[in-house]
Amino acid sequence: MNDLERLVKYWNDAFSYDGTMEVNKEEYKNLAPSVKLYEAVAKLAKKNNILDYGTGHGWASIILSRENASNITAVDMAINAIKIASNLALAYDAKNINFKVIDENFLNEDKELYDGIVCSNVLDVIPLEVSKRILEYFNRVTTKDATIVIGLNYYLDLKDFKTNERTKIDPPYFYVDDVLRLMSKTDDEWIDFFSLYFKVEKLDYFAWPEEKEEKRRLFILSKK
């Protein structure tokens, strides 16, 4: 089993669904891990055709729908993620979302053109070669006026990280129980990487709930 296969299994196991979803439909904004992420995603709702790549439990697609986006495609390689996202969308009365389970072959397609893409907590938790393929795909399937919202984890200096029996470091990768959990790159390294395909319009920082420092990265990209 390679790194990507282990990751798909890990995330598929992580997304468990017990069949009960009771929510307050008007609190959909709270699905976003931070206000800054919510605001960045909500701005995409004005776009005509939006891709939510690596949707997870579907928070971005639900926000887009509730902000009146008309055409959303939400994809993930974990079957259980799509099951949860689909049910959560129903609970929040989120419409106009096409949920799809995908595999690597999805990145070979170029039938759709998107003017908005959101991809959060994906590109830095997968192998570099897969991240490259995803960015190449985004570049092929976006319109000239497209906006791409990328959410990344914080930078971890692997040189100073002490491993234990569960962790392993193979720079730039950090593993827990043999599952890739982070591809750690600095801001400048990500800017150089993104700049191969897009123009970096903005870099901002945000925190998840209960985190004291805003160290996670929020990139806004556009076509060159």
Q: What is the pLDDT of residue 48?
A: 97
The predicted pLDDT at position 223 comes to 96
Question: Checking DSSP bridges between strand 198-206 and strand 50-53, what pairing results, if any?
Answer: unpaired
Q: Among residues 33, 86, 36, which one has the least CA distance to residue 62? A: 86
- What is the sign, positive or negative, of the torsion defined by CA atoms of 141, 63, 125, 179? negative
CA torsion sign for 45, 50, 54, 58 is: positive
pLDDT reported for residue 110: 87
Tokens at 92, concatenated: 């929040």
Quick one: how far is CA 92 from the chain centroid?
20
Positions in the chain short of pLDDT 70: 18-20
pLDDT at site 21: 74
**Sign of the alpha-carbon torsion through 95, 81, 74, 62:** positive
Residues 6+ apart with CB under 8 A from 88: 21, 23, 57, 58, 62, 94
In this predicted structure, what is the pLDDT of residue 143? 97
* Alpha carbon distance, N-terminus to C-terminus of the chain: 37
- Burial (0-12, 13-18, 19+ Cβ within 10 Å), 1: exposed
pLDDT at 162: 87
- Between CA 27 and CA 93 the distance in angstroms is 12
User: Taking CA 77 as the corner, what is the angle to CA 209 and CA 14, rounded to the nearest 5 degrees?
Assistant: 45
pLDDT tens digits for range 79-98: 999 999 999 999 999 999 99
**What is the per-residue pLDDT across 33-82, written as a single tens digit (0 to 9) for each?**
999 999 999 999 999 999 999 999 999 999 999 999 999 999 999 999 99
Tokens read off for 115: 């003017």
- Residue 18 pLDDT: 65
Q: Does the pTM exceed 0.75?
A: yes
Nearest to 207 by CA among 16, 77, 32: 32
- What is the per-residue pLDDT for 19? 66
CA distance 58 to 34: 15
Which domains does the chain show, CATH number per domain? 3-15+33-154+185-223 (3.40.50.150)
Report pLDDT for 159: 86
The per-residue pLDDT for 219 is: 98
